[in-house]
Amino acid sequence: MTTMAIDKGAPTRKVKHGSMSRDRAWALRWSYFFLTLFAIFSLVPPIYMLITSLKSSAEISAATNPWWVFHPTLSNYVELLTSNQFLTFFRNSALVSIFVVTITMLISVPAAFALARMRFWGSATLATGVFLTYLIPDSLLFIPLFKMFAVIGDWTGIQLINKWYVLLFIYPTLTVPFCTWIMIGYFASIPKELDEAAIIDGASWFQTLTRIFIPVALPGLIAATIFAFTVSWAQFLYPLVFTTSTDQLVLPVGIITTLIKGDVFNWGQIMTGALLGAAPPLIIYAFLMDYYIAGLTAGATKG
């Protein structure tokens, strides 16, 4: 059959075939060219962070070629990693993120299980409501939340504002809705036979969740954990509003409010701090890229 087709229109067909594979090769070359351009565009800021972090302030103010380090030094790193203040920021960030991840998982996994498997009155509405909450941004809530916590402080005498642990109440509003939403998707994709079998064997709902759903949906759980961690690590607006004393700050706010003193910018240290602040999410991403991407796309493709 193919020979017939070629015989029929031998000259034109052949040329066309040749041009098509040539087109492919060119398309590939252009793809690599543009991908390289875009990769450079993507990586310039982080690479520039690294370059600047290796420079001494004398080299920075000498205004030599900014893209090259002539006298690499680790003094910025040594200075930051031995400064108590910076380590406090790091500790606060780590504590907040770890607690928020734990709280998020404790709230959203059971809720997602109930919403995905145990149809009850209002469960569908609640699932949609959870998704809607995820769409309410932090910049809409920070003013009323700030006032709310101030009022609570006045009424009860429990002063939560300007304590790092106030963030443990607030960050879950950012993480829980999305984590619940993607866990609903993961749980819903588990075959019904599995939990029916467990129930038949006499497992309670709680056992079904811990023995079957959590192990089977582990990839989803990891993706949700990564999401919760990166969100709480990167959050900037809430800590800026709720914490002010230097010993209560988390890393992003700490770097910006303490390393930038008036008009004096110590760029070597700022870039070092920024790089160290970006390191935990980057390391997680480097090792768990597939889970990271799964969590990113799950919100829209599952559900």
Answer for the pair 288, 222: CB distance below 8 angstroms, yes or no: yes
Dist. CA 84–CA 80, nearest whole Å:
8
Residue 212 per-residue DSSP state = I
70 binds another protein (CB under 8 A): no
Candidate residues 107, 168, 190, 222; the one interacting with another protein per rule CB under 8 A:
107
84 binds another protein (CB under 8 A): no
Dihedral in degrees, nearest 10, Cα atoms 205, 208, 213, 218 = 110
245 binds another protein (CB under 8 A): no
Residues touching another protein, count (CB under 8 A): 100
From 75-83, 84-92, 124-132, 215-223, span contacting another protein (CB under 8 A): 124-132
For another protein, give the closer residue by CB, 88 or 227.
Answer: 227
Using CB under 8 A as the criterion, what x/- string covers residues 181-220 for binding another protein?
A: ------------------xxxx--xx--------------
For another protein, give the closer residue by CB, 164 or 292.
Answer: 292
Answer for the pair 278, 71: CB distance below 8 angstroms, yes or no: no
Candidate residues 85, 161, 169, 212; the one interacting with another protein per rule CB under 8 A:
169
Answer for the pair 253, 243: CB distance below 8 angstroms, yes or no: yes
From 39-47, 80-88, 94-102, 159-167, span contacting another protein (CB under 8 A): 39-47
98 binds another protein (CB under 8 A): no
Answer for the pair 233, 97: CB distance below 8 angstroms, yes or no: yes
Least distance to another protein, CB of residue 146, Å: 7
In three-state form (DSSP H/G/I as H, E/B as E, the rest C), the secondary structure along 33-79 is HHHHHHHHHHHHHHHHHHHHHCCCHHHHHCCCCCCCCCCCCCHHHHH
Least distance to another protein, CB of residue 264, Å: 13
Between the alpha carbon of residue 66 and those of residues 51, 59, 134, 239, 273, the distances in Å are 8, 9, 41, 33, 19
Least distance to another protein, CB of residue 82, Å: 21
From 71-79, 156-164, 213-221, 232-240, span contacting another protein (CB under 8 A): 232-240
Dist. CA 41–CA 137, nearest whole Å:
28
18 binds another protein (CB under 8 A): no
